[in-house]
Structures are given as structure tokens and as C-alpha cells.
Chain A
């Protein structure tokens, strides 16, 4: 399965995607990604292992982010490879879901304030 879910300190969830998120790949991760989006409020989506993403993958990211934002949660993208980052920027998704290249900064961006 090209998706792994890691629970980090401070109630942050890291969603690690990998491989090709093409039409078939997006279908495969649709259900698990929606379960995470529906139940977590601080999510880092690690894209460093993704070597292809296009419209169906972008669609999945937007649906996932909308679900998290509707609960006043936060989500960021971590370290997409250059071809994937290009697709995200050309489609304007980066203006909605920030891209980080540093994991600590990504976690800090979504983690709930202490106390």
C-alpha cells in the first residue's frame, strides 16, 4: 500500500505517500487518506517518495485538506520531488496547502499550540 500513517508527538499525524499516484494509485489511497482527513486535525503529508502525481492525486489532496480545514485543523505538504512540486505549483494547490522542505518546520506549522 503506497500510504503509511505515523503518529508523532503533539497530536501530529504524518501521512507518508509513495510511488506513483496516478489514476490507479489515487484510487488505492482514496479510502485511507479520507479516514485520516476525517479524524485528524494536524497532518503533514510527506510526498518525498512520490514520483508521479497529476489531476486525480491533486484532487485527493484538496478533498483531504478541505476536510481537515473544516475542523479548524492544519495540513501541509512535505518535500515533493521537483516534477511533483511543479504540478502542485502550476495548479495553484500550493497557495491553499503550504509546501515545506524541512520536516521540523512542517510539524511546527501544523502542531496545536501548547496548553
Chain B
């Protein structure tokens, strides 16, 4: 599937946790500049944090942070967030959802992410482009 077109805003960070702290302030500015409706913001930020946290924890070794690129594109009737990394090929849309833990002691921190992304997105697509993983999350504008 083709990407959502020319982005309205782009952020390039590394997967280092100190660098990822820039994610939400960037989203706030980009969403305001794109005049996204307030009702879309919470779900988009939850899905974005989930996608980026997954990359930070699984795509790169903790001691060797790698690049993450995030793009926001305003679409007719909604918006798209694209997240790219250069880790090993990984299609989160094909991952089997982990069964819910029976008790807190069996629970893994994280691991509920795909359910969150699917809940807030209208559509999630994955593609491998050369050495990049690209996840595109499309969000519908309410009303």
C-alpha cells in the first residue's frame, strides 16, 4: 500500500530513552500546526507511543540506540502517523496477540501494545522498505 503522501511534520530521534522524551512535545506542536481536532489527539498519542516504545525495546539493543523517524500527515477525513526504524524485519500487524495473563505475577510489562494500536487506529499497515520497517497508522476524524 502506498504511503499517506507528503508529511506535514517529521521528527527524527534515536531509540535512546532520553531522546524519546521529545516525542510528545513534537506531536503536540505538529498536531496544533495541522489543526487536528482535539478528539483525535489522545488515541493518536497512545498509538504513537506504543509503536515507538516497541521499537525502542525490541528493534535495537539497549546499549546501541538506532534511528526512528516519525511523520504526521493530514488526510481528508483524518490523519496518518508513519513510524520507521532500521531494526530487523518485524511486522507487528502479523504478530499473534499475547494471551492475557492470568495473574499479575505472570504479566509481562508491555505486550499489550498491538491491541492498543488496533483499538485507536482505523487501519494499520506494515511494509519493509529496503532496510527499514515502516508502520503506517491511519486515524479517522470523528463526526
Interface residues of A (CB under 8 A from B): 20, 22-24, 27, 52, 54-56, 58-59, 62-63, 65-66, 69-70, 83, 87, 90-93, 95-97
Asked if residues A54 and B110 are in contact (CB atoms below 8 Å), the reply is: no
CB distance from B20 to the nearest CB of A (A): 5
Asked if residues A92 and B53 are in contact (CB atoms below 8 Å), the reply is: no
Assuming the contacts A91-B112, A97-B104, asked whether A24 and B50 have C-beta atoms less than 8 A apart, the reply is no
Would you give the 0/1 interface string for B95-115, flagging 1 where the beta carbon is closer than 8 Å to chain A? 000001101110111101101
- State the main secondary structure of chain B at its contact with A: helix
Asked if residues A52 and B21 are in contact (CB atoms below 8 Å), the reply is: no
Q: Does B58 contact A (CB under 8 A)?
A: no
Besides A23-B23, A91-B113, 10 other A-B contacts (C-beta < 8 A): A23-B20, A23-B53, A27-B21, A52-B42, A52-B45, A54-B45, A62-B109, A66-B109, A90-B119, A92-B101
Asked if residues B49 and A91 are in contact (CB atoms below 8 Å), the reply is: no
Q: Does B29 contact A (CB under 8 A)?
A: no
Assuming the contacts A23-B17, A24-B24, A27-B21, asked whether A55 and B104 have C-beta atoms less than 8 A apart, the reply is no
**A87 to B116, alpha carbons, bound, how many Å?**
7
**A70 to B105, alpha carbons, bound, how many Å?**
7
Asked if residues A62 and B104 are in contact (CB atoms below 8 Å), the reply is: yes
Residues from chain A with Cβ under 8 Å of B11 in the complex? none
> Which of A22, A52, A54, A56 has the most chain B CB atoms closer than 10 A to its own CB?
A54
Q: Does B34 contact A (CB under 8 A)?
A: no
Asked if residues B17 and A27 are in contact (CB atoms below 8 Å), the reply is: yes
Q: Does B46 contact A (CB under 8 A)?
A: yes
> Which of B17, B46, B54 has the most chain A CB atoms closer than 10 A to its own CB?
B46
Asked if residues B115 and A90 are in contact (CB atoms below 8 Å), the reply is: yes
> Which residue of A has the minimal Cβ distance to B112?
A91
> Which residue of B has the minimal Cβ distance to A91?
B112
What are some 14 contacts across the A-B interface (CB < 8 A)?
A: A22-B23, A22-B45, A23-B17, A23-B52, A55-B116, A56-B49, A62-B104, A63-B109, A66-B107, A66-B109, A90-B115, A91-B113, A92-B100, A96-B104
